[in-house]
């Protein structure tokens, strides 16, 4: 790929990385999942992939990190493939909340007690319960197989230490899940603990920026993988996922990110961000230091800078 924008990106990226890395000191790596506190807080890396297979990678793009909430985009896609739109949206809504990602508030406040959207923790737990499989291992394996397919790497796995570390301290997620069970949102056959185990496992799937860029590229191309020439996910489901990324992907900072960057993106508390420039690029970013809303502080800065410089906003 050799157009003007690509040249601009290649030339300026090192400078943008240096500028944005400065912001990491104003944030902190997540510590409520003890294992995540060990991440290098000042790291910042990025990979950008185009439909013709050209890739730019910069900074700490080789760093391995867990997907955390980024995995929720893919469990949503898998649940849609497993059950179709109507059933999925009888268990989870389509609206942003404006609350923190782990908030329990609206579950009791608003009828009919289904979570507002699939990207907050309550919604993601409801979606996880929809993933077909007869055991925790089988359901985890199905999510892994889907992510391996999207990322084009059979070696992808989940980090058991991170999954266990989250499970030990997941009092809030346990309460959310029991609340959903009481409201009849979780499926009858599966226990709360089983659903939570699958949820912790898929949050702990370990990737690099390159993997996120590849997954992002498939979303950018409406579910079609330009590198293998195969349609991996129905276009309609990818359209739904990208819409949620735009309206809810950065939690209660989604409005601000939509104004400043204007592209679908999904963050995770390990510091990853998956971003999509429709039709053009899949992007993976990592920067473990988070701001108060749980998004990578330097990573957001980097995406906002690049979007303005390259005029990526879809609006």
- Contacts with ligand DON by CB under 6 A lie at 68-69, 101-102, 121, 166, 173, 203, 251, 267-269, 294
Please state the separation of Cα 109 from the chain's center in Å: 27
Residue 23 counted as an annotated binding residue: no
Which residue of the chain is nearest ligand DON when measured via CB? 69
3-class secondary-structure state, position 253: helix
- Judged by beta carbon, residue 50 or residue 68, the one nearer ligand DON is 68
Residue 178 counted as an annotated binding residue: no
72 is catalytic: yes
Residue 307 counted as an annotated binding residue: no
CA distance 274 to 162: 20
Q: How far, in Å, are 5, 46, 52, 77 from residue 306 at the CA level?
A: 11, 11, 20, 28
Min CB(269)–ligand DON separation in Å: 4
73 is catalytic: no
Residue among 64, 62, 61, 87 at smallest CA distance from 76: 87
Q: Are 116 and 106 a contacting pair, CB within 8 Å?
A: yes
Catalytic residue among 233, 269, 276, 277: 269
3-class secondary-structure state, position 18: helix
Residue showing tokens 């959310």: 176
79: part of which helix (H) or strand (E)?
Answer: helix 71-83
Min CB(194)–ligand DON separation in Å: 16
Catalytic residue among 47, 69, 197, 267: 69
Burial letters for 206-232: b for 16+ Cβ neighbours within 10 Å, e otherwise? bbbbbbbbbbbbbbbbbbbbbeeeeeb
- Judged by beta carbon, residue 57 or residue 269, the one nearer ligand DON is 269
Min CB(304)–ligand DON separation in Å: 17
- Judged by beta carbon, residue 57 or residue 275, the one nearer ligand DON is 275
Catalytic residue among 23, 158, 237, 251: 251
- Judged by beta carbon, residue 69 or residue 190, the one nearer ligand DON is 69
242 is catalytic: no
Residues placed in the known binding site: 69, 121, 166, 173, 199, 251, 269
Residues placed in the known binding site for substrate: 69, 121, 166, 173, 199, 251, 269
Catalytic positions, please? Answer: 69, 72, 199, 251, 269
């Amino acid at each position: 790929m050799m157009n003007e924008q690509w040249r601009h990106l290649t030339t300026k990226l090192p400078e943008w990385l240096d500028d944005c890395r400065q912001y990491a000191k104003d944030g902190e790596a997540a510590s409520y999942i003890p294992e995540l506190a060990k991440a290098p807080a000042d790291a910042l890396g990025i990979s950008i992939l185009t439909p013709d297979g050209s890739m730019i990678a910069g900074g700490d793009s080789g760093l391995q990190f867990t997907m955390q909430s980024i995995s929720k985009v893919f469990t949503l896609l898998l649940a849609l493939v497993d059950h179709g739109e109507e059933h999925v949206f009888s268990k989870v809504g389509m609206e942003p909340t404006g609350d923190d990602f782990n908030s329990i508030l609206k579950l009791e406040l608003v009828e009919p007690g289904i979570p507002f959207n699939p990207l907050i923790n309550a919604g993601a737990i409801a979606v996880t319960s929809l993933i077909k499989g007869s055991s925790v291992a089988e359901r985890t394996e199905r999510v892994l197989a889907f992510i391996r397919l999207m990322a084009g790497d059979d070696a992808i796995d989940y980090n058991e230490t991170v999954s266990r570390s989250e499970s030990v301290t997941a009092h809030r997620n346990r309460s959310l899940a029991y609340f959903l069970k009481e409201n009849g949102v979780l499926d009858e056959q599966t226990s709360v603990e089983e659903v939570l185990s699958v949820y912790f496992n898929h949050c702990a799937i370990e990737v690099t920026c390159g993997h996120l860029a590849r997954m992002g590229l498939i979303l950018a191309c409406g579910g079609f993988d330009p590198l293998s020439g195969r349609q991996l996910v129905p276009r309609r489901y990818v359209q739904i996922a990208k819409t949620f990324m735009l309206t809810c992907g950065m939690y209660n900072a989604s409005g601000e990110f939509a104004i400043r960057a204007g592209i679908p993106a999904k963050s995770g508390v390990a510091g990853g961000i998956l971003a999509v420039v429709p039709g053009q690029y899949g992007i993976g970013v990592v920067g473990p230091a988070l701001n108060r809303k749980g998004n990578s502080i330097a990573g957001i800065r980097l995406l906002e800078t690049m979007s303005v410089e390259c005029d990526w906003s879809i609006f």
